[in-house]
Structure 1
Amino acid sequence: MTAPLQSPKEPFHKGLAPSPGRHQGASRQPCLFNDDLPLPLAVLKKPALDHNRAWMRRFLAETDVLLCPHGKTTMSPQLFQMQLDDGAWGITAATAHHVRLYAQFGVKNIFLANQLIGAGNIRAVLDVLHGDQAITCTVLADSLAGVEQLAAVTAQHPYAGRLGVLVESGIAGKRTGARGLEQALILARSIAKSVNSLCLAGIALYEGVVPAGDPKSAPLIEQLHRDAAAVLAEATREQLWGGDEVLLSAGGSVFPDLAVAFLQQSRLDRPLKKLLRSGCYLTSDAQHYRRAAQQMMQRGPSPRNLGDFIPALEVWAHLQSMPEPGLAVAALGKRDISYDIEPPVLQQVCRPGTAPKAFKGAAEVVALYDQHAVLKIAPNHDLQIGDLLGFSMAHPCTTFDKWRVIPVVDADYRIVETIETFF
């Protein structure tokens, strides 16, 4: 009989040695390009993080909008802290698990930008509110069945307060949200009538369900904004609000300028807290969100004056094989980098011990396996097996969830700190 298997006796995270620096001397900072670390490895570039943080601070300073960034992007308390230090009002969640986790982190203002469905999930959120009266948490609703379930479970829970609920306005044929004014008002009235357990706290919407760059998207977003504005006005006329302050929240990762413009022009006869939920701004990317940002800058002078976001997240791997002319295989795959929107793109290359340089040749990821990326490369390349390859991705959210610990590196790619994720 074999000996029973055991978990590692010390933290053991992908891309990092159990005790970084053990074989390098305590005074030496591990450097990616010296081949000091096991690859593949995701890294966050501190200069890019600092730039993107400053960009959002300046953007929000021009408006009366508050930032409540979506935490699902990074699920990292260290990155949440950066955002809160920059003035974020709170952190946006997507699930009951997120709410419980954020409470453990110490987040006090939580915006659950999703329908809270299921008695177990509802009780989990109410447990958080009951356990710490300093925490606020509001949720969304887009159906009468959902409102009725929220009311029934909340009424039976020891939590003494009323659960704040926002009506979500949606786009026909897309994701969640009430379709049109009448459906949204039916929900608003139902929430307002549940006075013993719920209160109508505001209106929420998410414009990012339509693609950036598609000319059909603008009219859909405009209609979404009109619907939300109409619900806001009619709920006010009917005196449905459950408190003195009303929340109005939009997405903002793909269309931050349009979201902010809608929030800015919204007015009410009582305090209106306007929340932008953009989460991907902190790291951006070199593909999907960068194109969206460039399109935003073409729409108006204000974003253009602020400049571009800088991609902060990269994944590095060795070139491990060149089995035939025109093909190269990198030692990273679906377990390491995003692939849900577009394949990764080779951006940089270096020989161990040398400075990285932009990859100028033609290379395309034509197949992505669990641990391998197959690239079609032009014949005039100078790549060698053992080279370090740096990849960008089109969706940082689904790269973060593949790494438990991610180093933050300086301009020379030396590790200055690490962040943790909790997916």
Structure 2
Amino acid sequence: MQMSDAKGEAVLDATFRGVPFAAPTPASRFPQAGLRPSHGDLALPALTLGEAALRANRALFFRYLAAHGAEVAPHAKTPMSPEIVAELRDAGAWGASVANIQQAAVLMQSGERRLLLANQIGGGTAGRRLGALLAAYPDVELSAFADSPEAVATLAIAAETGGRTGLPILVEIGDGRAGARNDAAVAAVIAAVRAAAPRLRLAGVATYEGAVAGPDQAKTRAAITRLMARTAASFAAVRAAEPDTELILSAGGSAFFDLVIAALSPIVAADGRTTLLLRSGAIFFADHGVYAKAFAALDERGGLVIGAEKLKAAEAFRPALRLWAEVLSRPEPGLAIAGFGMRDVSFDQGLPVLLSIYRDGQELAGAADGIVVEKLNDQHAFLRLPPESGLEVGDVLCLGISHPCTCLDRWRLVFGLGEDGSVTRVLRTHFG
């Protein structure tokens, strides 16, 4: 179990997946040990984060945002790592987004002081819980979403419980998930927020374009265009209600950030007193599945435009996460069983992709060709092999994942890897 030594440093042992040490070991010892998952030095399966890829993705996306006059409050629900959130803030992030009260508590406790609560939270009991948290951290600036008068009432309870005045509220516009569905619903939220003054104040409009996406790219683009039009109309209504206030116009912005920027940046530029705020989270990690496809689709729409420069998003963003596992069994020709499963990796938007194979610490060139992850049990993976495959029990597999959010949340520890493939740090996640 995790504990702390006399200096307060985290101490880890083999009760954490990936930790190879039976005895409690300070986290600072891991980089010194020169552990390489490709050598089987970690207790497999293990999830790793390529530090260089993360830095490159961060620099690229921040450069893109600066070129288009936008900011980002990265969604902390993807890694739930205070260290990564702090690094993004230090790199220039506006703040951080959270999806619920627990996530807000983690980031408040870790020192974050500007949060966007990008979700509805429920009724009065939840409002009192949020209010208690606001009271405990009076220096935290928190803005929240509301898509109905009932949601506004909950946030008014939170503001009263927390002793806040002027708690910023963004009217959420939606389709396919939460969010006000029509002009009447938007007007009702605006009226409810104004009626709850001075506890609450109108602070802008928010939406999530990913909720209207589907497999058909043309239909997805049309649906996002309609949602952006509704968002623009709702923003005009909020601006009419608050003619002199600095406002926020927010969207999700990972898979379709180019469409969001194209639709909303002219509105922000014309208004002159509004921040265009994306909530991109998974983009900093990319992947070999759903986001790889999203970047390819973005390239078909015209690519990643940064000033006079045009980049291929599918090449510019680098997948940062890797799952490492070991071959456990070769029970019959054409089949291998590996030691990972649904408890270890995302599968909701695609199965893992085998990238490379290592034996005795050496990569076997071309050995991964033709091998497909066909099925997952809770802790077993079924790999279909070509007839000529020489895969053996004990071989170490390096796999790319699809959908960072539903992979990271399966792990309490993620191991950062340097350019040489060795562990540089241990990141603790806080999914509850």
Cα 1:46–1:359 shift into 2, 3 Å: farther
Does residue 1:234 correspond to 2:237, yes or no? yes
Number of aligned pairs? 412
Q: CA deviation at 1:27?
A: 5.7
Partner of 1:3: none
Alignment of 1:284-303 (within 5 A): 284-303=286-305
Name the amino acid aligned to 2:85. Answer: F
The Cα offsets for residues 302-349 of structure 1, whole Å up to 9 and x where unpaired, read as: 444265211110111111111011111110111111111112221211
Unmatched 5+ stretches in structure 1: 1-5
Other-structure match for 1:305: 311
Rounded Cα–Cα distance in structure 2 between residues aligned with 1:149 and 1:20: 45
- Partner in structure 2 of residue 59 of structure 1: 64
Q: Deviations over 1:347-370 (max 9, x none)?
A: 211112213646542222222111
Identify the residue that residue 99 of structure 1 maps to in structure 2: 104
Q: For each residue in 1:76-97, what CA deviation from the matched residue of structure 2 results, as whole angstroms up to 9, or x when unmatched?
A: 0111122112100101000011
For residues 190-240 of structure 1, what are the alpha-carbon distances to aligned partners after superposition, in whole Å with 9 as ceiling and x for unaligned? 212221322111100000111365211111111111111111112323x24
Aligned equivalent of 2:165:
161
Contact in 1 for aligned 2:135/2:161 (Cα 8 Å): no
Moved more, 264-273 or 100-109: 264-273
> 1:323 is aligned with what amino acid?
P
Cα distance in 2 for partners of 1:27, 1:88 equals: 31
* Partner AA of 2:378 in structure 1: D
Match of 1:189 in 2: 191
Cα pair 2:327 2:396 within 8 Å, conserved: yes
Taking structure 1 as the reference length, the TM-score comes to: 0.91
Q: Does 1:281 align with 2:283?
A: yes
Confirm or deny: 8 A CA contact 1:100 1:124 kept in the other structure.
Answer: no
Q: What SS does the corresponding residue of 1:57 show, helix, strand or coil? A: helix
> 1:105-116 residue pairs with structure 2 within 5 A?
105-116=110-121
Structure 2 equivalent of residue 251 of structure 1: 252
Q: CA deviation at 1:391?
A: 1.4
Question: Is the 2:255–2:283 contact (alpha carbons within 8 Å) kept by the matching residues of 1?
Answer: no
1:82 aligns with 2:83: no
Tell me how far apart the structure 2 counterparts of residues 158 and 320 of structure 1 sit (CA, whole Å): 54
Cα deviation, residue 150, structure 1: 2.8
CA contact (8 A) 2:290 2:403 kept: yes
Report the Cα distance in structure 2 between the residues aligned to 1:28 and 1:156, rounded to whole angstroms: 51
Structure 1 residue ranges (4+ consecutive) displaced by more than 3 angstroms after TM superposition? 6-10, 18-22, 24-28, 267-270, 301-304, 355-360
Change (3 A) 1:391 1:27: closer
Distance in 2, matches of 1:25 and 1:111, equals 34
Q: Is the 8 A contact 1:322 1:329 kept in 2?
A: yes
| Cα distance between partner residues in 1 of 2:142 and 2:418 | 36
Measured at CA, do residues 361 and 376 of structure 1 come closer, stay the same or move farther in structure 2, by a change above 3 Å? same
Contact 2:30 2:426 in 1 (8 A): no
| Deviation string, structure 1 residues 221-274 (Cα, Å, up to 9, x no partner) | 11111111111112323x247x72111100011101112222311136562011
The equivalences for 1:337-416 within 5 A come to: 337-355=345-363, 357=365, 359-416=367-424
Letter of the structure 1 residue corresponding to residue 166 of structure 2: R
Residues 88 and 159 of structure 1, relative CA distance in 2, 3 Å threshold: same
CA distance in 2 between counterparts of 1:297 and 1:195 reads: 46
Deviation at 1:154, TM superposition (A): 3.9
SS in 2 for 1:322: strand
Would the alpha carbon gap of residues 41 and 149 (structure 1) be closer, same or farther in structure 2, given more than 3 Å must change?
Answer: closer
**Secondary structure, counterpart of 1:266 in structure 2:** helix
AA in 1 matched with 2:230: D
With 86-95 and 175-184 compared, the bigger mean Cα shift is at: 175-184
Match 2:49 to one of 37, 44, 50: 44
CA distance in 1 between counterparts of 2:297 and 2:95 reads 28
Q: Which moved more, 1:288-297 or 1:356-365?
A: 356-365
Q: CA deviation at 1:149?
A: 3.2
The 3-state SS of whatever aligns with 2:165 is coil
* Structure 2 portions without partners, runs of 5+: 5-10
What does residue range 203-218 of structure 1 map to in structure 2 within 5 Å? Answer: 203-209=205-211, 210-211=213-214, 214-218=217-221
Structure 1: distance between partners of 2:149 and 2:92? 35
Does the residue aligned with 1:370 lie in a helix, a strand or coil? coil
User: What is the alpha-carbon distance in structure 1 between the residues aligned to residue 287 and residue 31 of structure 2?
Assistant: 34
Counterpart Cα distance in 2 of 1:20 and 1:255:
43
What letter is aligned with 1:131?
Answer: A
- Are 1:21 and 1:30, in contact at CA under 8 Å, matched by a contact in 2? no
1:125 to 1:356, Cα distance in 2 relative to 1, 3 A: farther
